[in-house]
Structure 1
Amino acid sequence: MSSTIAPQDFLEQGVSVSSGADALKIVPHPHPALRRKAKPVTEINAALRRHVSEMFELMYAHEGVGLAATQVARPWRLFVANPTGEADQTDQQQVFINPEIVRQTGSETAEEGCLSLPQLFGDVRRAKQITVEAFDLNGELFTLELDELPARVVLHEFDHLEGVMFPDRMTPAEKTKADPKLADFEHAWRKAQKSGEIPDDRTLLKAFETFKL
């Protein structure tokens, strides 16, 4: 959630924290991975742990508080979060593997942003309190009861694993205000594809769905 990079600059920067063929990059809307439902994680190994570490680096580098695997074009059902957004507050960071939202109560509306939609913000109504179950990097199942911002972060990132983005949950009025910015993202993306800077959607989707550790 949240970023201050314009759509065209976001594409140009590449947004990576490492080099190599499998370097992680935050992908912007309308990358097709963002609309795919993530697959359950079946093995926790050294490679997955390295990817999770890089996801935290990316999240902090872009002043985010959560980042889902689909946002880095990885098909896994996992996300990382730290509601403080502070890299030095490691006691607040959490890895959610194969998460499930088992309870939602109350509701409140608050502004949200997204690292895959930099400079786009809008009000979204979500549950105020939730209970979430997930596995950690040690393969241990845990349960958390969260409210307010921590709950919102988890719900936002969980949506990503379902192929849902926060503008989908905006009110009609908020969505109308967001449409021009969404169109800018679409235009920048298609322009980059036309020039050959970015592969076509079919190629990107195949790479996403067949990626293996």
Structure 2
Amino acid sequence: MSPLQIIQYPHPTLRHVSQPLKKVDRQVRDWAAEMIELMYEHEGIGLAANQVDLPYRMFVINVEGDPDKPELERVFINPVISRGKGLSEMSEGCLSLPDVRGPVTRNTTIRVQAYDLAGNEIDEVVDGMLARVILHETDHLDGILFTDKVPATTRSELDHLLHEFELAFNSRLESGELPHLDAMAARLAELQEARC
């Protein structure tokens, strides 16, 4: 399989509802390591599997985005969020929408249940930036982008930026630089069949 790359809006995989992984094997661990490298390369603090064109419920984070702090690296597989409390608004961005930012209101405290790469169960109550990043990345796994959650007034300001991404994507489709949409869908179905 070719090296992973971050896909950009409006690539259809970003709207795909990811499927739970049944097992963690060497391939999944390799993907996670590659995703962490890509996250740092693009100066992010989180990256979901469907942002690298994989249809699985997995994301990686480092809340400080600092490769010199590997102890902050976390991998969450098949996350489930519950017990959201409190609300706060903060400007968010996305590696699949470079240079686009907008205010998003999210819970300040959540419970996250998931698995790590060793197959250990994660069951934690988290708050602050960690909670926000986990919510943002879990949204990705459900096909939701932060731009779906910005206030209507901000969304209208972002529409022209999103339109530029759409034009660029369609141009890449037409030139053959990207595979046809049917081929993208077939590849996702094949990957899901293999692991979910």
Q: State TM-score, norm by structure 1.
A: 0.88
Q: Deviations over 1:11-52 (max 9, x none)?
A: xxxxxxxxxx33101000111100010010001111110010
What is residue 86 of structure 1 aligned with on the other side? 66
Where 1:118 maps in the other structure, the secondary structure is coil
5+ long unaligned stretches in structure 1: 1-20
Q: Distance in 1 between matches of 2:181 and 2:163?
A: 17
| Alignment check: 8 A CA contact 1:124 1:170 kept | yes
Match of 1:137 among 114, 117, 121: 117
- Give the equivalent residue in structure 1 for 2:36: 56
Q: Does 1:121 align with 2:101?
A: yes
Name the residue aligned to 2:16. Answer: 36
- Distance in 1 of aligned mates of 2:158 and 2:185: 26
Q: CA deviation at 1:171?
A: 0.5
Structure 2 match to 1:175: 155
Determine if the alignment matches structure 1 residue 95 to structure 2 residue 109: no
Q: Secondary structure at the match of 1:107?
A: strand
Letter in 2 for 1:167: T
C-alpha deviation, 1:209, in angstroms:
2.4
Aligned mate of 1:209, from 170, 179, 189? 189
RMSD: 1.0
The one of 183, 186, 207 equivalent to 2:166 is 186
| Deviation per residue, 1:102-160 (Å, 9 max, x gap) | 21000000000000000100000111111101100111111122212111100000000
Aligned length: 193
Gaps of 5+ in 2: none
What residue number does 1:198 align with?
178
- The answer (yes or no) to whether the contact 1:31–1:201 under 8 Å persists in 2 is no
Among the aligned pairs, what percent are the same residue? 40
The amino acid that maps onto 2:98 is P
